[in-house]
Structure 1
Amino acid sequence: MTEPARSRPRYDEGCLAAHALNMIGDRWALLVVRELMLVPKRFQMIRAGLPGVTAAVLTQRLAQLQAAGVVGHDPALGAYGLTASGQGLMPVLQALCRWGSDHPGHDPRRFISPTALMISMTAMVDQGLPGPVRAGFRSGREGFVQTLTRGALQVAADPDPQAPFVIEGSGNALAQAVYGPLPLDRVPGVTLQGDATAAQAYLARFRLR
């Protein structure tokens, strides 16, 4: 059953934070934005990154985000993508990652989408270390290239990432490689192409608080 459309704002306040939550505060809305942050996607690919959402709820959230000017839809490609307004939510997602890492209860054994991991890495990188460094990641049909310079980590979607090393696995396996205690060659479900020493040194730049 789909949720009823609202005829009035969820939060009937003049607060700017409440105004923002009226547009992106519904359940799944920010996670839909997360899945579209790096590349436009078709409906089923968005849903693959959000295994707990129903098709009906995802349809409604996409419609709400389009009405809010956060998401656009290309009928020719059948793909959804973020507008400039939607792209502006990247710092919000990064801040939520950092805020969440300070609080107990996080269970990394739960599903982690590849895009979610890439965004968390931009938030949890040690920004004091020098670069530039390029790293590649691949997970199923998705690929990414990261470029680390002092103070910033940029991520670009690339189905065929080219870098000195490319690490491949599911979102959860890659998260274990990035944040877990095991060295890369002992992480189950992960494969590596390229420079193993450089890859291990790169992963050492990421820490959960």
Structure 2
Amino acid sequence: MTNDNRSARLRYDDGCLAAHSLNLIGDRWALLVVRELMFTPKRFQMIRAGLPGITASVLTGRLAQLRDVGVVDHDTRLGIYSLTEMGRGLLPVLEALCRWSLMAPGHDPRRFISPSALMISMRVNLIPDAAQGTDAHAGFDFGTEAFEMRLTGGTLETRPVNTPDAPFVLKGTGNTVGFTVYGAAPVELMMKEGFISAEGDLTAAQSFVDLFRLDRTA
């Protein structure tokens, strides 16, 4: 705990740093709330849209807890929640959990995937050897959210945008775009079957999605 009037429920009476972290962010839904705010500030209902199954009362409680421990800021005038620097520091934690889950059985990609979840997943599942020496610029439009990705020197950067301005833009849900990125079917076939729509250079789009793989042997 800290001495600045922030408080958290003591789950573990343990001096381990991992236990201290879990005392702060270990409640159910807490890290997923952080995930939904990782790329951009959001209002309450937009956060909830990325978390099917969470109730309004539980989300209110998690946001209050995360605010109390310094992970989330709340602009009460505008009704917008955003991550603090401390909150943004949890991105490597989310990425590490994604990598660990590749070794764990039982993942079902047919379950709901939010746009933010997919963007984090793609950062994790970029194929390093394929990405080296490759520069690329991609756009993604999920309707209520949009992003651009830039790959430079093997490093992938993601940023939220109002309207993607990229050589190509993939449009769909987190699930359908995820199936396009990680599946074996070509981009044009996914378009033909109605899973996604796309604009721009489809050859570049195919080359881009070929840079990602869900490697469960990693």
TM-score (norm 2): 0.91
Question: What displacement does 1:151 show?
Answer: 2.8
Return the offset for 1:155.
0.4
Q: Distance in 2 between matches of 1:79 and 1:41?
A: 5
Partner of 2:176: 173
Instruction: Give, in whole Å, the separation in 2 of the partners of 1:113 and 1:97.
Output: 14
Structure 2, unaligned stretches of length 5 or more?
1-6
Instruction: State the match for 2:114 in structure 1.
Output: 113
Contact in 1 for aligned 2:115/2:142 (Cα 8 Å): yes
TM-score, structure 1 normalization: 0.94
SS of match in other structure, 1:144: strand
Q: How does 1:112-151 map to 2 (within 5 A)?
A: 112-128=113-129, 129=131, 130-151=133-154
Measure, in 2, the Cα distance between the counterparts of 1:163 and 1:119. Answer: 19
Q: Distance in 1 between matches of 2:25 and 2:115?
A: 22
Task: State the SS of the aligned residue for 2:92.
Answer: helix
Shift of 1:138: 0.5
How far does the alpha carbon of each residue in 1:73-96 deviate from its partner, in whole angstroms, 9 at most, with x for none?
112221100000000000011111
Report what 1:207 is aligned to.
213
Q: Percent identity?
A: 58
**8 Å contact from structure 2 (residues 9, 24) kept in 1:** no
Q: 1:131: Cα distance to partner?
A: 2.7
Unpaired stretches in structure 1, ≥5 consecutive residues: 1-5
1:52 aligns to what?
Answer: 53
Q: Distance in 2 between matches of 1:108 and 1:82?
A: 27
Question: In the TM superposition, what are the counterparts of 1:183-202 in structure 2 within 5 Å?
Answer: 183-187=186-190, 188-202=194-208
Q: CA deviation at 1:8?
A: 4.7
Moved more, 74-83 or 123-132: 123-132
Deviations 1:113-163 (A, max 9, x none): 011000110111012322321100000120000011223211000120100
Q: CA deviation at 1:7?
A: 7.8
Q: Which moved more, 1:86-95 or 1:182-191?
A: 182-191
Contact 2:9 2:23 survives alignment (8 Å):
no
Q: Distance in 2 between matches of 1:166 and 1:27?
A: 34
Q: Supply the AA of the counterpart residue of 1:163.
A: A
Aligned CA-pair RMSD:
1.2
Aligned partners of 1:35 and 1:115 also within 8 Å = yes
Q: In 1, Cα distance between the equivalents of 2:147 and 2:98?
A: 19
SS at match of 1:50: coil
Aligned with 1:145: secondary structure? Answer: strand
